[in-house]
Amino acid sequence: MFFDPLLYGFVFLGLFTPGPNVIMLTSSGARFGFARSLPHLFGVVLGVGITAAVTSMGVGAIVTASPWVNLALKTGAGAFILWMAWGLWKASAKPRAAADPDARPLSFWAAVLFQWINPKVWAVAFAASAGYGAAQAMWFEALRLGVAFSSVNLMVLLFWTAAGSLLTALLEHALAWKIFLRVMAVLLALSTLLVFR
């Protein structure tokens, strides 16, 4: 069966909860607005779908079985997440209307590539592949998981990016922006703990 409601429910729960993508897109929506965050959002959607598809073809097993590959992915993920958190921490504390015009959200391709080192995506994709695999042809399983992850993630990230964008009404003063950005930076940095658990 191509559409499995239990698989979609599992993917929703795995992707809706805060992790690096949710935190970064909520922040991006607040800092840059909904429309400017769309390339970042669509990059995440594509990258997550590809990662889920590749995981279902056995790459997830290779990553978890090889301590060196696993350590390299974890180290890369942790370093990138901390770098993004540092960027949020030192970002302009001015409300969006007065913010630095040269600041930009994460690009489409950077968001796609980040998924290859995003530990939460790998964990959810590996669990979905193991728990909801349908013993079909490899290409069918890859397509099934890729579509499930991309479609659910699109809805999840539209919600979080819009929520971030709507937060700007509450963040009209520089102090409120600074607190928001610092809280998001700390949450993003803390998400690295999930990488090395």
DSSP annotation string for 155-175: HHHHHHHHHHHHGGGT--SHH
- The residue assigned the tokens 């590539």 is 113
pLDDT at 99 over 70: no
Cβ(18)–Cβ(189) under 8 Å? no
Please give the structure tokens belonging to residue 42: 């669509």
* pTM score of the predicted model: 0.79
Structural domain boundaries, residue 50: 5-195
The number of folded domains in the chain is 1
Chain centroid to Cα 129, Å, comes to 18
Angle in degrees, CA 19, 21, 26, rounded to 5? 95
Q: How high is the mean pLDDT of the chain?
A: 86
Q: How long is the chain?
A: 197
Please give the structure tokens belonging to residue 2: 């191509």
Query: For 61-83, how does the pLDDT look when each residue is reduced to its tens digit (9 = 90+)?
Result: 676 677 887 788 778 777 877 88
Query: For 143-191, how does the pLDDT look when each residue is reduced to its tens digit (9 = 90+)?
Result: 999 999 999 999 999 999 999 999 887 887 888 888 888 988 898 788 7
Provide the pLDDT confidence category of residue 37 given band limits of 50, 70 and 90. Answer: very high
